[in-house]
Amino acid sequence: MNMEDNINKMQKYYRGENPRELSSLVLAYIGDAVYEMLVRVHVLSFGNAPVNKLHRKSSTIVKAQAQKETYLKIEELLTEEEQAVFKRGRNAKSNTVPKNADLMDYKFATGFEAVFGYLYLKGEVDRLNYLFNEGVINEKGN
């Protein structure tokens, strides 16, 4: 079973509202988990390694600054709808303050995660994989 099949299986558990009607922070909450899973599977694709080494590699990709950089690489690939989701996420007022991140990087990361959450809840797995591949795999050569 490939990652796309796994994402499709997980997505079937969501039977809630239209993703357009969810708050951008809820979309970012789901998007954070989806993006983290994609990154972990990607890092694991390099082969078996000690967990702390896998974690360090994943952390360099999922940290707020890296998510902002990835967003900037895929920005022109986003549809108008995806751009609108990103902007809602970026501009959302969060009650949390980033510990180890610049505030603007954190806001970009929130918008970026909102896009991933939105696409996941819409069931657009091919689109998720495409954006992930273009932003992380193809551009960074990881």
Does 29 map to a domain? yes
Q: What is the residue range of 106's domain?
A: 18-140
Catalytic choice (5, 32, 102, 126): 32
What is the share, in percent, of the chain residues with pLDDT greater than 90?
67
pLDDT tens-place string over residues 48-58: 999 999 999 99
pLDDT tens-place string over residues 5-40: 666 666 555 666 688 889 999 999 999 999 999 999
Does 120 map to a domain? yes
Task: Write out 85-96 in H/E/C secondary structure.
Answer: HHHHHHHCCCCC
Largest alpha-carbon pair distance within the chain?
Answer: 41
Does 132 map to a domain? yes
What pLDDT is recorded for position 63? 94
Does 7 map to a domain? no
Tell me how many domains the chain contains. 1
CATH number of the CATH domain containing 113:
1.10.1520.10
Does 10 map to a domain? no
32 labelled catalytic? yes
Judging by beta carbons within 10 Å of its beta carbon (0-12, 13-18, 19+), is residue 19 exposed, middle or buried? buried
Does 4 map to a domain? no
Residue 141 has pLDDT above 50, yes or no: no
SS3 113: helix
Does 6 map to a domain? no
Give the number of other Cβ atoms within 10 Å of residue 58's Cβ: 17
Residue 96 has pLDDT above 80, yes or no: no
Q: In this structure, is the dihedral angle defined by the CA atoms of residues 40, 44, 46 and 52, taken in order, positive or negative?
A: positive
Does 115 map to a domain? yes
Whole-number mean pLDDT of the chain? Answer: 87
Structure tokens at 30: 């789901």
pTM (2 decimals)?
0.86
Whether the CB-CB separation of 123 and 19 falls below 8 Å is answered with no
CA distance 132 to 117: 13
pLDDT tens-place string over residues 52-90: 999 999 999 999 999 999 999 999 999 999 999 999 999
Q: Give the mean pLDDT of 108-133.
A: 94
